[in-house]
Structure 1
């Protein structure tokens, strides 16, 4: 309960300070940078050293690929039924067919499942969400973008996206932590990294709160409803069906994989949609409305998973 209190209060405090104008413009991006460069790598390094290595790890690693494929089917059908534009279809895919597994997922896992399962978020991210965004996500954005094809074409864009994945500090910390699993490190170093990692939950949710800009949907009601219905309800339902009927596994790691599928729309996916002219206003709405709404749906999903 104390972790949940920290998560909710930091998010709301960020929203409050944004409305009061107490911090300079762009403060949310600065704090996000601190989380990515300092807090998350410390947590990731410790998690990589301590997490169990087993075939069960394939569950969280496959989560992003499963819900992205489900999004293709769901939004493809919605495109035909409701006449969605190419730009709106691409926006929905890049934001709501991918989960915010780091900035929201990490603190929410700690709050609802405990610190010992935080490592599952990194398994959902590095081989999952980041690669889905970097490869099929970038290819889809390049294909649907109304802008002229960028120099080098989609192949170059995929390569640049992959470079960003491999240079992502939490990913590098994960690889380093795995490489040093058998090496005895001094207690002061591990404890120090643990203390640095404790800043992850408050800073990440504070930065998310600072970045939220809730606005009423102007003519975007249907795609907004479709996107949030898939992201917050249908995507975790799909993942739940896969882990129960496909893998026959309802253990803690499998439950966290479903829980990560229920996270709000992906911020980086929204940025990619915006950069490619894929309904930028809808992308902003999906993130801004979906994030606080997830704070209502995530406790319900935790209740459902507790009954498995």
Structure 2
């Protein structure tokens, strides 16, 4: 587990080094929007299509969806209450809500679970992401980003418009193909897997590019601290309690709860860029929670296995 987390940190560090050295004269502000846009419109939809098309969809999926949805809503309400009390600026509040609510269940959670519990745990991460986290990200998450940020697209803000996102299109297509037992062509498997392989390194690299040393200041502690408490302590603790009311067996319960203990999702930086939230603050929160997860994930694993 620790080795996987260190590898993710190394990829973020590559972006930090690029921001400092500016190879080829290209600054981080030039490269990052291009990378995040390509991931959002091409690489991420390919990953969603590849994973969901071939996933097992059954009653177990309902449990994962219930647990993850309850934990995410609890975290969002907690962060919303804190923001209401302390009157954070909108661009910061939006970034903090996204960072506190949505865990990194795929980019980090999938490899961590697979190496910790075995190959069977890969489906846990996939189903939590595709039946709970992803739908909430592309509906509730976008609603939050639009509300606290700026939307210059000129589109109306109906509920349907919140679903108008390429990864969600890919998920809807994959579910239809899966439920209708359409076999995935072998040639397409290779293409989707190669595209999917680019999501994690590109997003982590772009996260490093987004880091601004001016944000690493004591004045940002009031914004980072509540997210860290909710994300790394309250959310897994709530998930552990809530999972006891479901019908998980011990291994699946441990894997599902550990997913909810993951640091903040990397994908949120795409929404921060698109809706003009505080991207630098979000990047700082993700980096800090990822570094802290080197210690918190082993702790929660020991609690779950005791």
When the two structures are superposed, what TM-score results if normalisation uses the length of structure 1?
Answer: 0.73
Equivalent of 2:95 in 74, 91, 95: 91
Aligned equivalent of 2:178: 178
Aligned equivalent of 1:303: 302
Task: Please say if 1:162 is aligned against 2:169.
Answer: no
Aligned equivalent of 2:71: 67
Unaligned 5+ segments in structure 2 are none
Q: Give the whole-Å Cα distance in 2 for the aligned partners of 1:252 and 1:28.
A: 39
Equivalent of 2:108 in 104, 108, 123: 104
Q: Against the structure 1 CA distance between its residues 167 and 90, is the aligned structure 2 distance closer, same or farther, given a 3 Å change threshold?
A: closer
Q: Give the whole-Å Cα distance in 2 for the aligned partners of 1:43 and 1:134.
A: 13
Whether the 8 Å contact between 1:213 and 1:288 is mirrored in structure 2 is no
Q: Give the whole-Å Cα distance in 2 for the aligned partners of 1:278 and 1:8.
A: 23
Equivalent of 2:83 in 62, 79, 101: 79
Equivalent of 2:120 in 99, 116, 120: 116
Q: Give the whole-Å Cα distance in 2 for the aligned partners of 1:275 and 1:289.
A: 22
SS in 2 for 1:267: coil
Aligned equivalent of 2:50: 45
Structure 1 residue 183, shift from structure 2 partner:
4.6
Q: Give the whole-Å Cα distance in 1 for the aligned partners of 2:75 and 2:88.
A: 16
SS in 2 for 1:163: coil
Q: Give the whole-Å Cα distance in 2 for the aligned partners of 1:249 and 1:212.
A: 39
SS in 1 for 2:157: helix
Q: Give the whole-Å Cα distance in 2 for the aligned partners of 1:278 and 1:191.
A: 36
Aligned residues: 299
Q: Give the whole-Å Cα distance in 2 for the aligned partners of 1:110 and 1:19.
A: 34
Q: Give the whole-Å Cα distance in 2 for the aligned partners of 1:10 and 1:200.
A: 12
Unaligned 5+ segments in structure 1 are none
Q: Give the whole-Å Cα distance in 1 for the aligned partners of 2:276 and 2:198.
A: 35
Q: Give CA deviations for 1:32-87 in whole Å, capped at 9, x if unaligned.
A: 757984698469636753x544322123223442123212432244235x523262
Whether the 8 Å contact between 2:39 and 2:199 is mirrored in structure 1 is no
Whether the 8 Å contact between 1:60 and 1:253 is mirrored in structure 2 is no
Q: Against the structure 1 CA distance between its residues 233 and 11, is the aligned structure 2 distance closer, same or farther, given a 3 Å change threshold?
A: same
When the two structures are superposed, what TM-score results if normalisation uses the length of structure 2?
Answer: 0.73
Q: Give CA deviations for 1:189-248 in whole Å, capped at 9, x if unaligned.
A: 87897788777766665665565556413522122100111112211111111112x214
Whether the 8 Å contact between 1:239 and 1:258 is mirrored in structure 2 is yes
Aligned equivalent of 1:269: 268
Q: Give the whole-Å Cα distance in 2 for the aligned partners of 1:189 and 1:276.
A: 33
Over the aligned positions, Cα root-mean-square deviation in angstroms equals 4.1
